[in-house]
Structure 1
Amino acid sequence: MWLVTECVQLFYIIVAVVEGRGLARGEVGMASIDLKNPEVILSQFADNTTYAKVITKLKILTPLEIIMSNTACDAGNTTKLFSLITEHFKNVTFTTVQRRYFNETKGLEYIEQLCASEFSTIFMEVQSKYYCLAAAAALLKYVEFIQNSVYAPKSLKVRFQGSEKTAMIDSSSAQNLELVINNRDSRNGHTLFGVLNYTKTPGGSRRLRSNILEPLVDAETINMRLDCVQELLQDEELFFSLQSVISKFLDTEQLLSVLVQIPKQDTVKTAESKITNLIYLKHTLELVEPLKAALSSCNTPLLKAYYNSLEDTRFGTILEKITTVINDDTRYTKGCLSMRTQKCYAVKPNINEFLDIARRTYTEIVDDIAGMITQLAEKYSLPMKTSFSSARGFFIQMNADCATLPNGQLPSEFTKITKMKNTYSFTSADLIKMNERCQESLREIYHMTYLVVCKLLNEIYEHIHCLYKLSDIVSMLDMLLSFAHACTLSDYVRPEFTDTLAIKQGWHPILEKIAVEKPVSNNTYLTEGNNFVIITGPNMSGKSTYLKQIALCQIMAQIGSYVPAEYCSFRIAEQIFTRIGMDDDIETNASTFMKEMKEITYIIQNANDKSLIIIDELGRGTSAEEGIGICYAACEYLLNLKAFTLFATHFLELCHIDALYPNVENHHFEVQHVRSSAGNKEKIAYTYTLSRGYTEEKNYGLKAAEVSSLPSSVILDAKEITNRITKQILQHRQKSTPEMMKQRAVYHLAMRLVQTARNSRLDPDSLRIYLKGLKKKYEASCPAPGQNDEQQ
């Protein structure tokens, strides 16, 4: 028996993975199922030698168990895929099964037999995808074995999920950005999931988590969600009425999972579970009408579609069949004794004569127990009362001080005495016997009720698939309500989707939650012709926070949430890569530098022109000369892509790459110099404000060192050496020629004109003024004749 009294994120996901052989190596099939959710997800895709897609997919699924073929795991002959998976998932159970169970023909048979008719279009998608079918065959056979039960025919939701419908965020980036787990404390809610999670159901919480890890890439679908969030924000009555109904739903997915399983053996436990779930099913179906009523006045297409889906007559058909057998006043309640009573009297009287007799017997025993405890209380003049727990059954509880008890102890006929402060819990030999009689009576009741419930379930199985639709509606509405709730707590705005990344006065959503004051907001602007931004500034000036903020805002926009900014426009990112952090990796015996190289290699191998790339420091784990060389070469490679790239660095030499590449822009975080009253020392005051150009701050590392407890002699030596090196660098630095400056000005003018042609909504007069302004900027940025001679 399972209880769903709170929205706890619990998964028991099993994944089967198989890879093609020979020429098909690199083609990977996957099948997964959560034992608490009757949905099989099939995937098949071509991956490269790093198996980035496989690892990312598995990180998102968070399996407790992975099944692979024994031929892939044989000692001395393990495949690269198996080695990589075991390296990344050290705490996951690995199970090997014989290769013959990965049978695509058997997998297709399983799907034809078990897939609910509403999802039968899956056949068209997967009939030629042999590897995911093979994985499905092994997975479903294994689940039958460990569960000791089979799924009812035509009862499962089967879905094919390729890797092209969602953005890819690798597991390292998800960790760096703290999307669902806080890096300092895994129990801490200071994550993007924690910021947006105001869901009321376990299904809504699961959907939010999966969406954050796999954002959408279809602008039309995202805008449909945003329309819903906008309506929920504008219509308070709709928001609160929907939230009220949604909060009453239990875990519909888990309910379905138990309902569609047919146990191979009938036990008291399985009987009780089926009865409980039928009560949960009745409770869920009774919420359909209130949910319809709440949606009746909605205007957006998606909410209207949900309302129309709830018009399905099968909801009423199932509920009608249930109410012919189950009492109208039987309902889900909290408290184990209340729920036990509901299960005992769930079936209407006169359906089974022997059941009615057993229930009368049970009632008499419960009354006898209450009477016996009352007599004991009178006998010993003690304030005893009847209590109940699922583990102990009925027992006696009493609030009393030791001083009020005879000789400071309870009478000798009481046993199993426990004390919590002034509360005693105990039982007696007679009460134990009566509990045994009570349990025996319950077993009879559950057995006879189970027979009635099984007959009822057989009648409603053919209609039950509408609950998949209901489950999907409830979890999606719950997530959209959560987005709207988050917006009401902060000044978020609706994002637009164009070919430009433009954020006006955006701020970090997680930092806002934990900071005493609202974080400093900053602007961001990247286009196809201005797609590479280098960010400089002193330590602690805000570079890392700013970079993470942009990635988090991009993810929020692509899942259909409003964004923390005054205005924002995004280009859909198909991949989001980050290289953040300076830690080494003890587990893989990788130094800081090697970890940096692995991460930048991964980005270079997988990035494309629709990627968003965030790099916070590179090459810091080796010498300055080599670090600058690696940074410069990596930047030149990434500059050949049309990916939007933000690169934070302390290597100021890198800033001069803009002389060669007009699509590079330099920005820096401003600081102010403040003289302290004590000792008249100059200190850096951080403004956390982003400005154009590269930082003019010199030797800010030395200033930070001065604040520390380093000896003054060491500081003086460091300053002298730094000055010598700086003079040498200045002698070799070249200034941009007028011809280069002119080319850069022409390039930027052309890019601005292209952006205007694509996205402008200005009227003719405003457009004319804007174009005149562009002309003036162009003329101002071109060097005047003879300027070079003057400079020389």
Structure 2
Amino acid sequence: MLRQEAASLSSSPRWTPSRRDAPPCGRTLASASRPSTEGAMADRSSSSSSPAPASAPGSSFGNKRSYATHRAASSFPVGTSSSSARDTTYPHTFRTPLSAGNPQRSGHKSWTPQVGYSATSSAVSAHAPSVIVAVVEGRGLARGEIGMASIDLKSPQIMLSQFADNTTYAKAITKLHALSPLEIIMSNTACVMGNSTKLFTLITENFKNVNFTTVQRKYFNETKGLEYIEQLCIAEFNSVLMEVQSRYYCLAAAAALLKYVEFIQNSVYAPKSLKIYFQGSEQTAMIDSSSAQTLELLVNNQDYRSNHTLFGVLNYTKTAGGSRRLRSNILEPLVDVETISMRLDCVQELLQDEELFFGLQSVISRFLDTEQLLSVLVQIPKQDTVNAAESKITNLIYLKHTLELVEPLKVTLKNCSTPLLRAYYGSLEDHRFGLILDKIKTVINDDARYMKGCLNMRTQKCYAVRSNISEFLDIARRTYTEIVDDIAGMIAQLAEKYSLPLRTSFSSSRGFFIQMATDCAALSSDQLPSEFIKISKVKNSYSFTSADLIKMNERCQESLREIYHMTYMIVCKLLSEIYEHIHCLYKLSDTVSMLDMLLSFAHACTLSDYVRPEFTDTLAIKQGWHPILEKISAEKPVANNTYITEGSNVLIITGPNMSGKSTYLKQIALCQIMAQIGSYVPAEYASFRIAAQIFTRISTDDDIETNSSTFMKEMKEIAYILHNANDKSLILIDELGRGTNTEEGIGISYAVCEHLLSIKAFTLFTTHFLELCHIDALYLNVENMHFEVQHVKNTSRNKDAILYTYKLSRGLTEEKNYAKSTELP
């Protein structure tokens, strides 16, 4: 289907995504072999009168040859680099209203990983934005029906979603926040200047630092979307076809997304290579972005670099995939009790079996980023370059390293008893793992493995293929070895000639260079021999090169290109043989990331006295404490009890400022989230009712960007909660009505309380309005609580001082006029 489409595109105007509010700038989305801005602009201007050939690098899709043919004919133009959107700017810059006035942000370029993106990324870089999302909304009577399709460029998985949203588009905004997109694609009809849709307006307001791209509405084609899924989805997940067959909007979004991604990546996905799945909005709990920020789920509000967050409390993952899974689970907790209980069973077994815990941790820590590895393997570059070849060779070595860990992982899980761990053990018994590894070992050397260090890894790539498979490759490798030996010999001769302690060093940017030992650092650069050039001093050592060494580095690079070219053809032939079996790696990726997250939960439990939660129709916590506060404090935080039922679903909490009200609210929400992702919680006993939504209204700051006062911001947030809350919600409201006068504040708080009482949502409501506490005389399902304080005699000032106990008790506070106890005159 893709080849037919490429042919049709060759006779039609080229498809180019557009960006708003800026004049044309930079290069078109063409390959890196067309560096000229003027040439790219000329190509754009002439595209309507002279259609680009289907094989042109800048066309929507090149002529996509079959996998084997594409590989057999591969050859590398000397000096070319892989086509990467890192070095490419778009035909138009699409700016948000905020960035339009900011010269530093108005030229913000979209970034996409290149074909050779490393599978060894750290857990930190694992969270760098790499998700592209296509969003489309129904028209006419279908307005409010939202279709989404997203793909993580680090992982070959497409998530489809379709749901009915209300006029606030709460579900759509929350979903996008959870995805943390790099770029959002929408139809050009939704983004018409002066006549844009409400959905587009809300998305641009909420995602000011995200790139927006518009494409013509015709590319949101549900028929093409279904064809893409039929062609690209692997057999293990083809049940998604039944789920999305009548969901036209997510299919339309998928069509536009895949066309756009293949366009900017300058590569296509191989047939039957992607994991495509449907995720309904009802499968996870909804936590809006404001609540996620208030609760410090991922980012600390005082210091964005700090790990004093819920993610920081729970993150002891060893792999990038495990770290990503933990992040997504925190933002979208589970709502299925059976699935949560299975996770808790696993954590319990890990805690009880020390040998299993440390054995798993040892094996999991050796895995690379399997999802990212898959992403590289399933892409077929439109243009064969040295970088593309090097990437394939590297990732085949990573694949061998990963598959060699399957057996140790299976041995570790062999005696597990919980159903989920047994299921993971069963998935590792797939015979395809051994089949792929055997085929790889017939071509790749047994000692070829992942190693740290650019020179070590370069050596592994050069000698990855076994000897005697290609006579020309063996000759090229001997030539390369001779050159490297000549470089080492030349530097040894220079050291002897000048009586200097010189040694051979290597870096990926400079190649081989000379470094002088630190004990001669007192020598000035002027005293060095004249044939040494490009001298630089780093700490207590000198680095430099020579004209002869530069020439030898060039010979070395030329030899490497030949080696990579011949190795690439052998590797591609091998990949074509194992490709039909490679889909088992999706299961392996899921298994490793989930085990890593469960190990992280167990690790967190060993550092504190957490307890396994239960799930009932009651929120009951005995002696629970704030998990982030525990991480920060030298002493264990004060623990408190909580009890909310359907018959008493609203707690009104009073107490002086700084008595612990806001911290207590956050503590309840954090414990609820921890329980719903399958973690133990900080308490002596904990029982939770599943929350389908978690809402908070705690911040009271002005919002200068939207010109909102404290009161306006309060009203916007409380209106959002009232529109979206139901009987399955957990709602935390902190001192509503502070932004207006007392009389109006009491009236607003009273009305909000009455509404929440009527819908049976579990609500914790803190306030300084003692008049609100009398609502318990009218409604049986409300209870008053307060934070205790003690008065201690201050002999130096002859007045009482307040001692905060941070203990929650029944009834309303009796504290009044407590400002008298302060230092104020």
Task: Give the structure-2-normalised TM-score.
Answer: 0.85
Whole-Å Cα distance in 2 between the matches of residues 549 and 103 of structure 1?
A: 46
Within the candidate set 197, 205, 208, 2:326 is matched to 208
Residue aligned with 1:38, SS? strand
Q: Is the 8 A contact 2:502 2:515 kept in 1?
A: yes
Q: Which residue of 2 aligns with 1:7?
A: 123
> Relative to structure 1, is the Cα distance of residues 665 and 398 closer, same or farther in structure 2, using a 3 angstrom cutoff?
same
Q: Is the 8 A contact 2:521 2:542 kept in 1?
A: no
Residue 185 of structure 1: how far off its partner (Å): 1.2
> Relative to structure 1, is the Cα distance of residues 433 and 408 closer, same or farther in structure 2, using a 3 angstrom cutoff?
closer
Within the candidate set 535, 543, 556, 2:661 is matched to 543
After superposition, where does 1:258-273 map in structure 2 within 5 Å? 258-273=376-391
Whole-Å Cα distance in 1 between the matches of residues 519 and 233 of structure 2?
A: 62
Amino acid at match of 1:538: P
Q: Is the 8 A contact 2:121 2:320 kept in 1?
A: no
Counting aligned pairs with the same residue, the percent is 82
Q: Is the 8 A contact 1:292 1:310 kept in 2?
A: yes
Q: Which residue of 2 aligns with 1:372?
A: 490
Whole-Å Cα distance in 2 between the matches of residues 199 and 221 of structure 1?
A: 20
Counterpart check, 1:320 vs 2:435: no
Residue aligned with 1:564, SS? coil
Q: Which residue of 2 aligns with 1:745?
A: none
Of 456-465 and 407-416, more deviation after overlay is shown by 407-416
Q: Deviations over 1:167-208 (max 9, x none)?
A: 101111111100011111111101000000000000000000
Residue 531 of structure 1: how far off its partner (Å): 0.7
Q: Which residue of 2 aligns with 1:760?
A: none
Counterpart check, 1:149 vs 2:149: no
Within the candidate set 585, 588, 592, 1:467 is matched to 585
After superposition, where does 1:664-703 map in structure 2 within 5 Å? 664-700=782-818, 702-703=819-820
Residue aligned with 2:134, SS? strand
Amino acid at match of 1:218: D
Residue aligned with 2:784, SS? strand
Q: Is the 8 A contact 1:43 1:162 kept in 2?
A: yes
Whole-Å Cα distance in 1 between the matches of residues 707 and 511 of structure 2?
A: 54
Counterpart check, 1:438 vs 2:553: no
Within the candidate set 720, 729, 748, 1:602 is matched to 720
Within the candidate set 218, 221, 241, 1:100 is matched to 218
Q: Is the 8 A contact 1:402 1:408 kept in 2?
A: no
Whole-Å Cα distance in 1 between the matches of residues 613 and 807 of structure 2?
A: 23
Q: Which residue of 2 aligns with 1:238?
A: 356
After superposition, where does 1:193-342 map in structure 2 within 5 Å? 193-342=311-460
Q: Is the 8 A contact 1:593 1:622 kept in 2?
A: yes
Q: Is the 8 A contact 1:11 1:36 kept in 2?
A: no
Whole-Å Cα distance in 2 between the matches of residues 338 and 703 of structure 1?
A: 71
Q: Is the 8 A contact 2:521 2:540 kept in 1?
A: no
Amino acid at match of 1:202: A
Counterpart check, 1:383 vs 2:498: no
Amino acid at match of 2:416: C
Q: Which residue of 1 aligns with 2:23?
A: none
Within the candidate set 751, 759, 762, 1:641 is matched to 759
Q: Which residue of 2 aligns with 1:582?
A: 700
Counterpart check, 1:351 vs 2:469: yes
Whole-Å Cα distance in 2 between the matches of residues 291 and 141 of structure 1?
A: 38
Q: Deviations over 1:10-61 (max 9, x none)?
A: 3311000000000000000000001110000000000000000000000010
Residue 678 of structure 1: how far off its partner (Å): 1.1
Q: Is the 8 A contact 2:325 2:597 kept in 1?
A: yes
Structure of greater Rg: 1
Residue aligned with 2:281, SS? coil
Within the candidate set 285, 289, 292, 1:167 is matched to 285
Residue 594 of structure 1: how far off its partner (Å): 0.4
Whole-Å Cα distance in 1 between the matches of residues 651 and 179 of structure 2?
A: 34
Can you give the 5+ residue segments of structure 2 that lack an aligned partner in the other structure?
1-115
CA RMSD of aligned residues (A): 1.0
Q: Which residue of 2 aligns with 1:736?
A: none
Q: Is the 8 A contact 2:503 2:517 kept in 1?
A: no
Residue aligned with 1:330, SS? coil
Q: Which residue of 1 aligns with 2:648?
A: 530
Amino acid at match of 2:580: E
Q: Is the 8 A contact 1:402 1:409 kept in 2?
A: no
Amino acid at match of 1:6: S
Residue aligned with 1:707, SS? coil
Task: Give the structure-1-normalised TM-score.
Answer: 0.88
Residue 75 of structure 1: how far off its partner (Å): 1.0
Residue aligned with 2:809, SS? strand
Whole-Å Cα distance in 2 between the matches of residues 2 and 39 of structure 1?
A: 16
Can you give the 5+ residue segments of structure 1 that lack an aligned partner in the other structure?
713-792
Q: Which residue of 2 aligns with 1:361?
A: 479
Whole-Å Cα distance in 2 between the matches of residues 408 and 430 of structure 1?
A: 20
Residue 698 of structure 1: how far off its partner (Å): 1.1
Residue aligned with 2:218, SS? helix
Q: Which residue of 1 aligns with 2:690?
A: 572
Residue 492 of structure 1: how far off its partner (Å): 0.1
Amino acid at match of 2:770: L
Q: Is the 8 A contact 2:525 2:535 kept in 1?
A: no
Q: Is the 8 A contact 1:596 1:619 kept in 2?
A: yes
Whole-Å Cα distance in 1 between the matches of residues 465 and 520 of structure 2?
A: 46
Whole-Å Cα distance in 2 between the matches of residues 343 and 117 of structure 1?
A: 32
Q: Which residue of 2 aligns with 1:707?
A: 823
Whole-Å Cα distance in 2 between the matches of residues 94 and 651 of structure 1?
A: 45
Q: Deviations over 1:748-770 (max 9, x none)?
A: xxxxxxxxxxxxxxxxxxxxxxx
Amino acid at match of 2:613: P
Q: Which residue of 2 aligns with 1:763?
A: none
Q: Which residue of 2 aligns with 1:749?
A: none
Amino acid at match of 1:647: F
Amino acid at match of 1:525: Y
Q: Which residue of 2 aligns with 1:476?
A: 594
Within the candidate set 169, 173, 179, 2:297 is matched to 179
Counterpart check, 1:115 vs 2:233: yes
Residue aligned with 1:445, SS? helix
Residue aligned with 2:736, SS? coil
Counterpart check, 1:425 vs 2:543: yes
Whole-Å Cα distance in 1 between the matches of residues 816 and 560 of structure 2?
A: 81
Residue aligned with 2:283, SS? coil
Whole-Å Cα distance in 1 between the matches of residues 493 and 781 of structure 2?
A: 90
Residue aligned with 1:572, SS? coil
Counterpart check, 1:519 vs 2:634: no
Residue 401 of structure 1: how far off its partner (Å): 5.8
Amino acid at match of 1:55: I
Residue 576 of structure 1: how far off its partner (Å): 0.5
Amino acid at match of 2:147: G
Whole-Å Cα distance in 1 between the matches of residues 518 and 511 of structure 2?
A: 22
Q: Which residue of 2 aligns with 1:130?
A: 248
